[in-house]
């Protein structure tokens, strides 16, 4: 099988003559295949230079002809220009072209006109497509790799015909992002419209419908952090998220959904965004505690010898990456093998089964706190799979894919009736209705819980004060 590639300027007469000769050979010879690349005149020089540099060739004129040797396991082999292609056809196939100059010029003109018309048609087609714009920060992280294929799914975004995925990684190398883009495109998922990559904030969050902000990674991060290193890290987070907030407020769509996730300063990062937005509603910014919920569910499931999915409605209060409290006042357990049994839809309150109040208030809380660290130490990596799953669960609920009674724990701007300082982001129980969340009202906040919320609020306030102190020192 002879496979040739013919590339040239759209208005080039020699390209037109070579094109017609190649078409004639392809019609007559069953083992001759030609792939044509028509390049607009203004883009030809740059395209030619890039192609030759990539393949180690030297060529200056239009057209450019090469042979693909993929079947033989080799790379492309340069044939040359028009004269070389004509000579090859004469020697191997005893075929030549006697096209007159006037006809060559006429065909070249038609080629250019056809190319311009096809560009106009494609631009019109593209203008009719309104893709959903998803921005993913720290895209090179392990969590990003779990998220990407699931984000491009109708299970997460129903009633969406196309998705533009924008991969942002400020500390990553562009080459790594290029490979990630290629891998994403190779998934061949029907919802994927385009993938763009970004290593700076020049285009960040433009037209965003969904923004997923993961932990920030810096190239000089160390495994051990003293107090001064922690202050520097908090200040960098502060500066970056203030800028993120301003960019989101001016560039993103007004109904954008912003989800902040990770292990470090999750509530603080969301709070910093909210401090720097004026136009977008604060209800569009949340942090996810779903990973903590699921870790707590898994611990209870192991203790009761049921599946993790059999434990529902666990609530996380407080500072997701700091002082949090796992509350089981609404938790239910299905399929428990105890004295009271029922059909599959029968459930029992978790507290009725787990009558170890001291364990629930002490050891259980500490087990949840240490669960992620234990996974990381044993696997030598964080828990990206469970974090990605938590993000996706919240996205599905926000897009209307959840039951009316399903409870989620989200970090949101502190509700006014909690008698806590304003301007902080606190994890509270919410439900989703008609693609909007609302704080669950019929929960009991006992004195013990109120004290824990005050501790979390104090912790978050200190984090914000630390930023203010650092900024003051910097300015002075």
Of 60, 55, 109, the C-alpha closest to 82 is: 60
User: What is the signed CA dihedral for 350, 352, 357, 363, rounded to 10 degrees?
Assistant: -30
Nearest residue to 368 via CA among 310, 422, 295, 275? 295
Task: For residue 132, give every residue at least 6 positions away whose Cβ sits within 8 Å of its Cβ, in sequence order, or none.
Answer: 157, 160, 162, 163, 164, 209, 210
**Dihedrals φ, ψ of 69, to 5°?**
-115, 35
Contacts of 75 by beta carbon, 8 Å cutoff, 6+ apart: 55, 69
Axis-axis angle for helices 82-93, 13-28 (nearest 10)? 20
Q: How far is CA 347 from the centre of its chain?
A: 36
pLDDT value for 469: 47
Residue 354 · residue 305 · CB < 8 Å:
no
Q: What is the pLDDT of residue 224?
A: 53
Which domains does the chain carry?
2-127 (3.40.30.10), 129-469 (3.90.110.10)
Q: Distance from first CA to last CA of the chain, Å, rounded?
A: 74
Whole-angstrom Cα distance, residue 468 to residue 382? Answer: 30
Dihedral of CA 446/451/452/453: which sign? positive
Total Cβ atoms within 10 A of residue 22: 23
What pLDDT was estimated at residue 475? 34
Phi, psi of 299 (to 5 degrees): -65, -45
Write out the chain's pLDDT in tens, 476 residues: 678 899 999 989 889 888 888 888 888 888 888 888 989 999 999 999 999 998 899 999 999 999 887 555 457 889 999 999 989 988 888 888 776 667 777 777 787 788 778 878 877 776 677 899 999 999 999 999 999 999 999 999 998 889 999 999 987 678 888 889 999 999 999 999 999 999 999 999 999 999 999 987 655 555 556 677 777 777 888 889 999 999 999 999 999 999 999 888 899 999 999 999 999 999 999 999 998 999 999 999 999 999 999 999 999 999 998 899 999 999 999 999 988 888 988 999 999 999 888 899 889 999 998 876 666 565 545 578 889 999 999 999 999 998 888 999 999 998 777 777 778 899 999 999 999 999 988 888 888 888 999 999 898 888 888 776 444 333 33
Cis peptide before 44 (omega within 30 of 0): no
291/383 Cα distance (integer angstroms): 9
Q: How far apart are CA 131 and CA 125, in angstroms?
A: 12
Output the six-digit token pair for 357. Answer: 């109040």
Strand partners, 4: 34, 67
Q: Give yes or no for a contact between 122 and 49, defined as CB atoms under 8 angstroms apart.
A: no
SS3 at position 374: helix
CA distances from 95 to 15, 87, 285, 343 (A): 17, 9, 68, 80
**pLDDT value at position 172?**
67
Give the integer Cα–Cα distance in Å for 397 and 407. Answer: 10
Q: CA–CA separation, 113 vs 10, rounded Å?
A: 9
* Percent of the chain as helix, strand, coil, to the nearest 5: 45, 20, 35
Question: Crossing angle, helix 447-475 and helix 266-275, to 10 degrees?
Answer: 60
């Amino acid at each position: 099988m002879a496979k040739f590639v013919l590339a040239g300027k759209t208005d080039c007469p020699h390209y037109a003559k070579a094109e017609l000769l190649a078409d004639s050979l392809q019609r007559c010879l069953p083992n001759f295949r030609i792939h044509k690349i028509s390049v607009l005149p203004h883009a030809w020089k740059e395209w030619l230079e890039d192609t030759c540099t990539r393949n180690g060739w030297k060529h200056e004129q239009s057209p450019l002809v090469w042979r693909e040797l993929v079947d033989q396991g080799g790379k492309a082999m340069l044939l040359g220009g028009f004269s070389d292609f004509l000579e090859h056809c004469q020697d191997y196939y005893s075929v030549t072209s006697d096209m007159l100059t006037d006809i060559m010029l006429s065909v070249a003109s038609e080629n250019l006109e056809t190319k311009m018309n096809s560009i106009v048609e494609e631009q019109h087609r593209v203008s009719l497509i309104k893709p959903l714009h998803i921005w993913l920060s720290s895209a090179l992280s392990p969590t990003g790799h779990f998220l990407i294929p699931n984000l491009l799914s109708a299970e997460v975004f129903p009633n969406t015909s196309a998705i533009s995925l924008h991969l942002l990684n400020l500390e990553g190398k562009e080459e790594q992002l290029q490979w990630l883009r290629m891998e994403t495109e190779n998934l061949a998922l029907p919802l994927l419209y385009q993938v763009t990559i970004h290593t700076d904030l020049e285009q960040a969050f433009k037209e965003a419908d969904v923004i997923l902000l993961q932990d920030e990674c810096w190239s000089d991060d160390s495994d051990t952090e003293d107090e001064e290193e922690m202050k520097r890290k908090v200040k960098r987070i502060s500066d970056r998220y203030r800028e993120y907030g301003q960019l989101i407020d001016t560039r993103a769509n007004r109904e954008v959904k912003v989800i902040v996730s990770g292990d470090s300063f999750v509530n603080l990062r969301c709070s910093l965004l909210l401090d720097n937005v004026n136009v977008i509603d604060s209800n569009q910014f949340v942090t996810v505690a779903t990973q903590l919920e699921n870790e707590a569910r898994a611990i209870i499931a192991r203790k009761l010898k049921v599946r993790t999915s059999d434990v529902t409605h666990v609530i996380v209060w407080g500072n997701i990456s700091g002082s949090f409290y796992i509350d089981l006042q609404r938790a239910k357990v299905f399929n428990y093998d105890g004295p009271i049994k029922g059909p599959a839809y029968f459930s029992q309150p978790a507290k009725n089964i787990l009558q170890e109040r001291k364990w629930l208030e002490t050891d259980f809380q500490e087990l949840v706190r240490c669960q992620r660290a234990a996974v990381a130490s044993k696997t030598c990596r964080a828990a990206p799979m469970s974090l990605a799953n938590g993000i996706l669960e919240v996205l599905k609920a926000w897009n209307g894919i959840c039951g009316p009674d399903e409870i989620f724990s989200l970090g949101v701007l502190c509700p006014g009736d909690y008698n806590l300082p304003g301007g902080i982001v606190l994890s509270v129980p919410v439900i989703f209705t008609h693609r909007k969340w609302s704080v669950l009202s019929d929960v009991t906040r006992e004195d013990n819980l109120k004290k824990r919320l005050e501790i979390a609020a104090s912790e978050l306030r200190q984090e914000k004060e630390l930023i203010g102190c650092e900024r003051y020192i910097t300015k002075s």
